[in-house]
Amino acid sequence: MLKGIPQILSPELLKVLCEMGHSDRLIIADGNFPAESMGKKAVVIRCDGHGVPEILEAILKVFPLDSYVEHPVNLMEVMPGDPVKTPIWDTYKDIVSKYDERGEKAVGNIERFTFYDQAREVYLIIATSEKALYANIMLQKGVITD
């Protein structure tokens, strides 16, 4: 056990987060995301039984967001005409605002298929059991300056 580390972060996940360098990206994926097929070049860690918000909150306690890009956090855009509502995005913005002084301005959107293209290049994909649709979130790592 380590002091101050959220228990939801497994030793394997902590190791991979630590291995990541500045500008490396990760995805916390919802339950519908094709984590294994998208993650052929990435580390894929399963966090079954957990939702994206609780994983996001825990990660942001130990993971600096990139201050050199406008949007170090990106969401998968809803396809035009898809009648899906995304209230979970407000939850994400609230969580990000606790850990990044830019608040919700740190959060951007990426068109769905572009998001998939970028997903094939991330360092880490965390597969969750999140049931909300369009609940995938991509984070870009920054540096610790303290």
Could you give the residue numbers annotated as active site?
A: 22, 66, 116
Q: Residue 46's beta-bridge partner residues?
A: 127
140: left (phi over 0), alpha (psi -120 to 50) or beta: beta
Report the alpha-carbon distance of residue 146 to residue 137 in Å, rounded. Answer: 26
**Strands of 137-140's sheet in order across:** 43-47, 124-128, 25-29, 137-140, 73-76, 107-110
Burial letters for 22-40: b for 16+ Cβ neighbours within 10 Å, e otherwise? Answer: eebbbbbbbbebebeebbe
Neighbours of 1 (CB within 10 A): 4
